[in-house]
Amino acid sequence: MTRTRHAIAAALLALAVAGGPLVAAPTPAAASPVLTAPAKAAALPKTVGYRIATAELHLWKASTGKAYARIIKKGSTIRHTGVREHGRLQIVLNKKVYWVTFKYTKKAQWVSRVKVGESVKGRTIYAYQVGDSDASKVAVVIGQFHGEEKAGVDTARALMADARTVEGISLWVIPTINPDGYAAGTRANARGVDLNRNWGYKWVKTAKGRYYSGPKAFSEPESKALKAFLADVDPRYVVGIHQPLYGVDSDGVKNTALQKRLINYLKLPSKAFTCRTGCRGTMTQWVNHTLDGAAITVEYGSSPSKRYVTVTARDGLVKALGGHY
Ligand SMILES: [Zn+2]
């Protein structure tokens, strides 16, 4: 029995125990596909979710190794795991019959996503749920603001590609809020605005250039979209990843315990990032002033190792944010 089949069998067993009678039967010819792929994703990251047309079979594995399954309502998004086959199951739960077709693709994991907004050039900005969406503690990791700082995007993708289930926190991962800058390799967005100087707290208009604030606070679709998303999910913690200053920000820290955990688990020093002359209109300032939760800046070095970015930082962030595997 393959690992896949074993997981499904175990999940069905859990269902049978928890939910009453369970019948598995061959697929009837009339059964239509109940699974449709989402709209084509932008260049990054790869499509990871599938929308279920009738009902969702939600399979997951707890840290105890036990597999579980539950039916989620029509229209929700199934997160998929590292299974490499398609299948169809008939499930009878509380006398109701469900036909569930599922499709897994390789090397993906349990993820659902929401659209945060669009960039100046129309690229979609997504947030991916890689934790427990039912958890009361909500955390957001933003992999990138500045297009040439690419390591945080790799950490975000590593979080998304991890087949282990993050438990204990609802963890939203936004690989980049600056997909235009990412594509062009530029710090700013497509209008030359620094998306970490465009926020509406202590915003000041600055001259065009490397740290251009934009013509007014929240003038840019990317910062406006992220603002709305953050206000909506009301996170306890927000981490914004940058390069290359190498440290965890100690300037204006709202939650010192979070800062200490990040220093510890990300193996970075405490360092004051004062934007040279005092920060104006940054995301962390806005969150710390406006929302209940705490935001903090993490700066990797200029060229962190692949292992650091995709393993140490991935696992370290989960732990620092209060999650576990
Ligand atoms: Zn940056």
Could you tell me the distance, in angstroms and rounded to a whole number, from the CA of residue 142 to the centre of ligand 1?
11
Could you tell me the distance, in angstroms and rounded to a whole number, from the CA of residue 62 to the centre of ligand 1?
36
Could you tell me the distance, in angstroms and rounded to a whole number, from the CA of residue 147 to the centre of ligand 1?
8
Query: What per-residue confidence (pLDDT) applies to 20?
Result: 28
Q: How confident is the model at residue 182 (pLDDT cuts 50, 70, 90)?
A: very high
Mean pLDDT of the chain: 75
CB-CB contact of 107 with 82 (8 Å): yes
Q: How confident is the model at residue 232 (pLDDT cuts 50, 70, 90)?
A: confident
CB-CB contact of 285 with 278 (8 Å): no
Could you tell me the distance, in angstroms and rounded to a whole number, from the CA of residue 138 to the centre of ligand 1?
23
CB-CB contact of 286 with 201 (8 Å): yes
Query: What is the mean predicted confidence (pLDDT) over 131-136?
Result: 80
Q: How far apart are alpha carbons 110 and 174 in whole angstroms?
A: 15
Residue 98 has pLDDT above 90, yes or no: no
Residue 164 has pLDDT above 60, yes or no: yes
Could you tell me the distance, in angstroms and rounded to a whole number, from the CA of residue 109 to the centre of ligand 1?
28
Residue 160 has pLDDT above 90, yes or no: no
Could you tell me the distance, in angstroms and rounded to a whole number, from the CA of residue 294 to the centre of ligand 1?
18
Query: What per-residue confidence (pLDDT) applies to 229?
Result: 92
Per residue in 233-258, pLDDT (tens digit) is 899 999 999 999 999 999 989 999 99
Q: How confident is the model at residue 44 (pLDDT cuts 50, 70, 90)?
A: very low
Could you tell me the distance, in angstroms and rounded to a whole number, from the CA of residue 115 to the centre of ligand 1?
22
Could you tell me the distance, in angstroms and rounded to a whole number, from the CA of residue 60 to the centre of ligand 1?
35
Could you tell me the distance, in angstroms and rounded to a whole number, from the CA of residue 324 to the centre of ligand 1?
28
Could you tell me the distance, in angstroms and rounded to a whole number, from the CA of residue 135 to the centre of ligand 1?
30
Please state which of the four CATH numbers 3.30.70.80, 3.40.630.10, 3.40.366.30, 3.50.50.60 is assigned to the domain occupying 112-320. Answer: 3.40.630.10
CB-CB contact of 323 with 167 (8 Å): yes
Least confident of 50-64, 119-133, 172-186: 50-64
Percentage above 90 pLDDT, the chain = 55
Sorted by where each begins, the domain ranges of the chain are 3-103, 112-320
Degrees, nearest 5: CA angle 164-117-113: 20
Could you tell me the distance, in angstroms and rounded to a whole number, from the CA of residue 99 to the centre of ligand 1?
47
Query: What per-residue confidence (pLDDT) applies to 11?
Result: 40
Could you tell me the distance, in angstroms and rounded to a whole number, from the CA of residue 214 to the centre of ligand 1?
16
Residue 85 has pLDDT above 90, yes or no: no
Could you tell me the distance, in angstroms and rounded to a whole number, from the CA of residue 308 to the centre of ligand 1?
18
DSSP 311: I
Per residue in 53-79, pLDDT (tens digit) is 334 444 544 444 444 444 444 444 444
Query: What per-residue confidence (pLDDT) applies to 145?
Result: 98
Least confident of 83-92, 195-204, 215-224, 295-304: 83-92
Q: How far apart are alpha carbons 325 and 65 in whole angstroms?
A: 11
Could you tell me the distance, in angstroms and rounded to a whole number, from the CA of residue 243 to the centre of ligand 1?
6
**Cis-peptide, bond into residue 215, ω within 30° of zero:** no
Query: What is the mean predicted confidence (pLDDT) over 259-278?
Result: 93
CB-CB contact of 133 with 112 (8 Å): yes
Query: What per-residue confidence (pLDDT) applies to 264?
Result: 98
Burial class (CB in 10 A: 0-12, 13-18, 19+), 271: middle
146 vs 11, higher pLDDT:
146
Query: What is the mean predicted confidence (pLDDT) over 211-236?
Result: 95
CB-CB contact of 41 with 28 (8 Å): no
Could you tell me the distance, in angstroms and rounded to a whole number, from the CA of residue 149 to the centre of ligand 1?
6
Could you tell me the distance, in angstroms and rounded to a whole number, from the CA of residue 195 to the centre of ligand 1?
9
Q: Which residues contact 295 (CB under 8 A, 6 or more apart)?
A: 237, 238, 239, 240, 254, 283, 284, 286, 287, 288
Could you tell me the distance, in angstroms and rounded to a whole number, from the CA of residue 297 to the centre of ligand 1?
9
Q: Could you give phi then psi for residue 223, rounded to 5 degrees? A: -70, -35
Residue 110 has pLDDT above 50, yes or no: no
Residue 51 has pLDDT above 50, yes or no: no
Query: What is the mean predicted confidence (pLDDT) over 1-21?
Result: 35
Is residue 324 left, alpha or beta, with left meaning phi > 0 and alpha meaning psi from -120 to 50?
beta
Could you tell me the distance, in angstroms and rounded to a whole number, from the CA of residue 4 to the centre of ligand 1?
41
Query: What per-residue confidence (pLDDT) applies to 93?
Result: 41
Least confident of 106-115, 137-146, 256-265: 106-115
